[in-house]
């Protein structure tokens, strides 16, 4: 499904699947709480990576996990 956001078209499936992969991994490692609520910070990382041109859901999830964990360690 493609959704238009302003002037940009976003592939919701790729972002959604990447979020599901990344959030599942981060929940299992204890990096994020095990709730059904969306982690806005993780979603923002995935959307930003997608906007920069990463469209493969596996690479998108892996890069988001790495970036999320790095930002968590810094904070």
pLDDT at position 66 is 97
pLDDT at position 11 is 76
Distances in Å between the Cα of 22 and the Cα atoms of 13, 70, 75 are: 14, 14, 19
Alpha carbon of residue 53 to chain centroid? 14
Query: How far is Cα 8 from Cα 11, in angstroms, rounded to an integer?
Result: 10
**Tokens at residue 5, please?**
């956001």
Query: Do 15 and 55 contact (CB within 8 A), yes or no?
Result: no
pLDDT at position 3 is 54
Report the chain (75 residues): mean pLDDT per 10 consecutive residues: 53 91 96 90 95 94 96 79
Q: Is 3 helix (H, G, I), strand (E, B) or coil?
A: strand
Query: How far is Cα 50 from Cα 3, in angstroms, rounded to an integer?
Result: 13
């Amino acid at each position: 499904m493609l959704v238009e956001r302003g002037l940009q078209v976003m592939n919701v499936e790729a972002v959604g699947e990447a979020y599901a992969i990344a959030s599942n991994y981060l929940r299992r490692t204890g990096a994020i709480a095990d709730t059904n609520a969306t982690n806005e910070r993780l979603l923002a990382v995935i959307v930003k990576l997608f906007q920069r041109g990463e469209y493969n859901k596996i690479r998108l999830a892996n890069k988001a996990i790495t970036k999320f964990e790095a930002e968590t360690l810094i904070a």
